Amino acid sequence: MSDRELVLEAVRKMPDQSSWEDIVGELRLLAAVREGLAESERGEGQSSDKARDLVRQWTSG
């Protein structure tokens, strides 16, 4: 599916009363997920164990 098709589908699924901020936030999330998947396919990024450790560090305060 093309980026354009993904954007249109994401916006179509959102409630009619969605604000611009909601729409932009959803599209930023979608872009970040796609970039993360592309990094993973290239063998880049962090392992799931490393990600869990980072989340624990961030949330332990």
The pLDDT of residue 48: 85
Q: Considering the chain, what is the average pLDDT of its residues?
A: 92
Query: CA–CA separation, 49 vs 15, rounded Å?
Result: 35
The pLDDT of residue 61: 65
| CA proximity to 35, closest of 44, 23, 26 | 44
The structural domains of the chain, with segments of one domain joined by +, span: 3-59
